[in-house]
Structure 1
Amino acid sequence: MATVEECRSALDRFAANLAGAEGSAKDAAALDRSLSCRITDLDVTFTGRLAGGRVRDVVTVRGEPAQKAQIRLSMKGDDLVAMVAGDLNFAKAWGTGRVKVQASLRDVLRLRSLL
């Protein structure tokens, strides 16, 4: 089971990948949305803002945050680490229920090119 620190590190790698994104991924990274990533097996949520091609102002909250983000992801820590490492395909994980996404359909389609 991934630790909170491993999940935070994976999110930092994801943020770094966004900064270097090109093509359709760069367009998707240009969204300006609040973002949360709930790690179900650790009962922790990372919240921040996707803006200007970066994930900014990431904070860790125990449980679920009081305010709902515009893009909400929910998964196990190991799945987050595997997705960011490229070992787990986002669309496949989403289709099988390993990753849950709550966002507008347009945002989901854009997000797919980032993960």
Structure 2
Amino acid sequence: MAEPEECRTALEQLSRNLAQAGGDLRRAAALDRSLSCWLTDLDLTFTGVLRGGRIEDLAQAPGAPGTKAAIRLTMTSDDLVALVGGRLNFAGAWAGGRVRLEAGFRDLLRLRTLL
């Protein structure tokens, strides 16, 4: 099980990766949406705003998300760290049920580029 600080670092790295992306990936990440990432094994939720290809206003709170973000991720802490570190393929983890992604239909269409 990853520590909460490792998870925060992974999300900050994800933000940097998105900001440095180009082309279709950059356009897909250029949403202005609320974001939550619930880490089930830690029972901890990180929230923020995906804005201009970066995750901003990153905060953490105990428990499941208190409000419904526009883009919602659910996974374990180890899976988050592995995904950002490139050791776990998002599409495979999503198809296998290890990662759950919930968003509106139009956002899912845009985010599929990230998968």
Q: TM-score, normalised to structure 1's length?
A: 0.93
The 5-angstrom pairing of residues 71-82 of structure 1 reads 71-82=71-82
SS at match of 1:113: helix
The alpha-carbon distance between structure 1 residues 51 and 70, as it changes in their structure 2 partners (threshold 3 A), is: same
Query: What are the superposed Cα offsets for residues 76-100 of structure 1, whole Å, 9 maximum, x if unpaired?
Result: 0110011101111111100000001
Shift of 1:53: 1.3
Residue 17 of structure 2 corresponds to: 17
The alpha-carbon distance between structure 1 residues 11 and 67, as it changes in their structure 2 partners (threshold 3 A), is: same
SS at match of 2:47: strand
Residue 28 of structure 1 corresponds to: 28
CA distance in 1, matches of 2:24, 2:94: 20
| Structure 2: gaps of 5 or more residues | none
Q: TM-score, normalised to structure 2's length?
A: 0.93
User: Percent same amino acid among aligned pairs?
Assistant: 60
CA distance in 2, matches of 1:106, 1:97: 21
CA RMSD of aligned residues (A): 1.3
Shift of 1:66: 2.0
CA distance in 1, matches of 2:51, 2:103: 16
| Structure 1: gaps of 5 or more residues | none
Shift of 1:64: 1.8
